[in-house]
Chains A and B, each alone.
Chain A
Amino acid sequence: MVKKSTKTAAFALTAAALLMGATACGSNNANNTSDNANTGNTGTNAGGNAAAGGDKNVTITFQNIYPDPATPSYKMLHSIVDQYQKDHPNVKIELDSLNTDQQKLKLKTQAASKEVPDITIVNPAAQMKPFVDAKLFAPLNDMLDQNGLKDTFQKGLLDYYSFDNNIYALPDGNNIEVVYYNKDMFAQAGITATPTTYEEFLDDVKKIKAKGMTPIAIGEKDSWTGSFLFMNILLRTNGGPGFLQDVLDGKKTFKDPAFTDAVSAMQDLIQAKAFEEGATSIDYNTGGNLFKTGKAAMMIMGTWETGAIDSSTVGPKVGVFKFPTVNGKGDPDQFMLAPGSAFAVSANSKHLQETKDFLNYFMTEMPKKQFELKNAVGSGQIITGDFKAAGYSQLAQDVLALFQNVKGGDLAFDNTMKPAIAQAHLSSIQNMFVQKVDPAAVAAEHQSAFDSNK
Chain B
Amino acid sequence: MNVLKVPARTIAVFVLPCLIIYIGLVFVPIIVSIYDSLLDWDSINKAKFIGLDNFKTMFAHDANFWPAVRHTLMYAVFSMLEIPICLFVAALMNRYVKKANTLVSIYFVPVILSTVIIGQLWKTIYNPADMGGMLNGILNSLGLESWTRSWLTEPKIAMYCLYFVSLWQYFGYHLLIQFTGVQNIPQEVYEAAKIDGAEGFKSDWYITYPMAVPIFKISIVLAFIGSLQQFDLVWVMTGGGPAHATDTISTHMYNSSFLSLKYGYGSALATFLVFVCLVFTVVINSVFKKVEAKYS
Contact = CB atoms under 8 A, between A and B. Distances in A.
Q: Do chains A and B touch in the complex (CB under 8 A)?
A: yes
Interface of A: 1, 4-5, 7-8, 11-12, 15-16, 19-20, 23, 104-105, 108-109, 111-112, 130-131, 133-134, 136, 220-223, 276-281, 418-420, 422-423, 427-428, 430-431, 433-435, 452
Contacts of B127: 278, 281
Given A223-B241, A281-B123, A276 B28 contact: no
B260 A430 contact: no
Given A12-B16, A12-B23, A130-B44, 17 more contacts: A8-B9, A8-B12, A16-B20, A19-B20, A19-B24, A20-B31, A136-B44, A220-B242, A277-B131, A278-B152, A420-B261, A423-B255, A427-B241, A433-B153, A434-B155, A434-B242, A434-B243
A427 B244 contact: yes
A130 B261 contact: yes
B233 interface: no
Nearest to B128: A277
A133 B24 contact: no
B238 interface: yes
A280 B150 CA distance: 10
B174 interface: no
24 contacts: A7-B8, A8-B8, A8-B9, A8-B12, A12-B20, A19-B23, A23-B28, A105-B258, A111-B44, A130-B261, A134-B44, A134-B45, A221-B238, A276-B128, A280-B153, A281-B242, A418-B261, A419-B261, A420-B260, A422-B260, A427-B243, A428-B243, A430-B243, A431-B243
A4 B7 contact: yes
B262 to A, nearest CB: 6
Contacts of A134: 44-45
Contact of B11 (A8, A111, A281): A8
A8 to B, nearest CB: 5
A420 B153 contact: no
Contact of A281 (B24, B44, B152): B152
Contacts of A420: 260-262
B263 to A, nearest CB: 7
Contacts, number: 132
Contact of B153 (A111, A223, A278): A278
A276 to B, nearest CB: 7
Enumerate the 7 nearest inter-chain pairs by beta-carbon distance, A residue then B residue, closest first.
A4-B8, A431-B243, A278-B150, A19-B24, A280-B242, A277-B128, A281-B152
Given A111-B43, A281-B152, A19 B8 contact: no
A20 B29 CA distance: 9
B145 interface: no
Nearest to A113: B43
A435 B156 CA distance: 11
A23 B260 CA distance: 24
B204 interface: no
A8 B151 CA distance: 56
Given A130-B261, A276-B131, A16 B43 contact: no
Contacts of B20: 12, 15-16, 19
Contacts of A434: 153-155, 242-243, 245
A16 B27 contact: yes
A278 B161 CA distance: 14
Contacts of B5: 1
A230 B114 CA distance: 36
The size class of the interface chain B forms with chain A is 35 or more
A185 B243 CA distance: 32
Q: Which of A23, A104, A136 has the most CB of B within 10 A?
A: A23
Contacts of B45: 130, 133-134
B130 interface: yes
A136 B127 CA distance: 43
B172 interface: no
A341 to B, nearest CB: 16
Nearest to B244: A427
Nearest to B16: A12
Contact of A1 (B8, B131, B153): B8
B239 interface: yes
B261 A108 contact: yes
A16 B28 contact: yes
Nearest to B151: A278
B24 to A, nearest CB: 4
Q: Which of A19, A23, A422 has the most CB of B within 10 A?
A: A19
B291 interface: no
A104 B28 contact: no
B259 interface: yes
Contacts of A7: 8
B163 interface: no
A108 B258 contact: yes
Contacts of A223: 241
Q: Which of A133, A278, A427, A433 has the most CB of B within 10 A?
A: A278
Nearest to B31: A20
Contacts of B29: 23
Contact of B242 (A4, A8, A431): A431
B19 interface: yes
